[in-house]
Amino acid sequence: MTIDANDKRPEKAVGTRENQNEKRPQVEEATVTDATRLSARLIYEVIRRDGEAELERPTVSLIWSGIAAGLLISLSILGETILRAYLGGGDGAGFLIENLGYSFGFLVVVLGRMQLFTENTITTVLPAMSRWSITCLAKMLKLWAIVLAANTLGALSAAAFLALTDVLGPELSDALATLSRHAVGMGPWQSFIGAIPAGVLVAGIVWMMPSARGSAFMIIVAFTWLIGAGNFPHVVAGSVEMGVLLWLQELDPITAVFGFFLPVLTGNIIGGTAIFTLLAWGQVKNEVAQG
C-alpha cells in the first residue's frame, strides 16, 4: 500500500479540530451573553426606542389601537365578575382568586401590543426626557390625549354592551353592578391615592418586559392581580365599571368625571410618570450622558 504524498486528509482533520477549538469560546460567549440579565441602561434603551416608534405612529393607527384596548380591557372586569358570581364574593381566599380575573384583559392588551394609556406614561416619556424639546413634549401630550380618549371610548362602549344587553344574564349582571359600585364608590381622595400604586405597577410591567423572555405572562398576571386585589383603580379598566353605572343610571356624569375619572387619571399619571419613570431615568441618566 502506497501513501500519496499529496494526500491532505490528516491536515484537514487537524484543521477541523482547530476550527472547533476556535468556535468553542464563541459559543460559550454567546451562551453567557444570552444568560446575562439586561442592564438598566439596555432596558431603558429598548423602552426609549419603543417610545420613539409610538410617537411616530399615524393618528389613525393610535385611535383604532386605543379603541381596541379600551374594548378588550373589559375582559378584566368580565373575568372578575364571573369569578365573583360563582365564588360567592366575600373575603379571604375567594376574594384573592376572584381578582385573578382582573388579569385577563391586561394579558390581551399588553401581549397584543395595543395602545393602553398607562403604558404610554412611561414609554413615551423616556424619549421626551432624553431629548428634551417643545416638539417632543407636544408629540407626547398629543399621543396621551388620543390614546386616553380612544381607550375611554372603547371602555364605555364595552360597558354599554355589558349593561344594556342580556348577554350576562341576571346573576352575572348583579355581580357586575356590585363590582362596579365597589370600584367607583371609594370617593375622590381614596381613588386618587389608590391609583398611584396602580400607575407604578403598570409602569413596572413595562420596565420588566424587555428582559421577561418567557416570563411575560406571569409578570402581567402577578402585577395586575396585585392591582385588583389591592383595590388600586386603573383609569381604563375603571372606565368600564364607571360606564356600567352610567348606563344603568346609577351615576351622574359630573360625579363620574370629577369623583372618579379625573382623580384616578391623576393618580395613575403620578404613579407611572412622576414616580416610576423619574426613578428609572435617574438610575441611567449618567450612563446615557456618557454615551
pLDDT digits (tens, 9 = 90+) for 59-79: 999 999 999 999 999 999 999
Assess contact for 124 and 54: CB atoms under 8 A.
yes
- Structural domain includes residue 1: no
Q: What does the mean pLDDT of the chain come to? A: 84
Residue-level pLDDT at 94: 80
The three cell numbers locating residue 72: 378588550
Query: With bands split at pLDDT 50, 70 and 90, how would you rate the model's confidence at 279?
Result: confident
Same domain, 12 and 121: no
Assess contact for 140 and 48: CB atoms under 8 A.
no
Residue 55 makes CB contacts below 8 A (sequence gap 6+) with 124, 127, 136, 139, 140, 143
Cβ count within 10 A of residue 249 = 8
Domain count across the chain? 2
The three cell numbers locating residue 73: 380591557
Same domain, 141 and 21: no
Same domain, 98 and 232: yes
At 2-11, the pLDDT tens digits run 445 455 444 4
Residue 172 has pLDDT above 90, yes or no: yes
Q: How far apart are CA 263 and CA 272, in angstroms?
A: 14
Comparing 14 with 38, the larger pLDDT belongs to: 38
- Structural domain includes residue 215: yes
Same domain, 26 and 141: no
Residue-level pLDDT at 89: 66
Query: With bands split at pLDDT 50, 70 and 90, how would you rate the model's confidence at 254?
Result: very high
- Percentage of the chain surpassing pLDDT 70? 82
Assess contact for 140 and 124: CB atoms under 8 A.
yes
Query: With bands split at pLDDT 50, 70 and 90, how would you rate the model's confidence at 42?
Result: confident
CA distances to 4, 25, 53, 56, 85 from 50, in Å:
63, 33, 5, 10, 39
Same domain, 99 and 207: yes
Residue-level pLDDT at 36: 53
Residue-level pLDDT at 265: 96
Write the CATH number for 98.
1.20.1080.10
Listed range (31-35, 143-147, 226-230) with the worst mean pLDDT: 31-35
Q: How far apart are CA 138 and CA 130, in angstroms?
A: 15
Cα torsion at 83, 88, 91, 97 (round to 10°)? -20
Same domain, 17 and 138: no
Comparing 15 with 193, the larger pLDDT belongs to: 193
Place of cell 502506497: 2
Residue-level pLDDT at 43: 81
Assess contact for 232 and 197: CB atoms under 8 A.
yes
> Per 3-state DSSP, what percentage of the chain is helix, strand, and coil (rounded to 5)?
85, 0, 15
Q: Supply the DSSP symbol for 234.
A: -
Residue-level pLDDT at 290: 63
- Structural domain includes residue 2: no
Residue-level pLDDT at 194: 95
Same domain, 100 and 214: yes
Place of cell 404610554: 120
The three cell numbers locating residue 278: 423619574
Assess contact for 123 and 51: CB atoms under 8 A.
yes
Same domain, 28 and 104: no
What per-residue string of b and e applies to 156-195 under the rule 16 or more CB within 10 Å gives b?
bbbbeebbeeeebeeebbebbbebbeebbebeeeebbebb
Same domain, 27 and 52: no
Domain that holds residue 270: 38-290
Q: How far apart are CA 281 and CA 256, in angstroms?
A: 34
Same domain, 195 and 247: yes
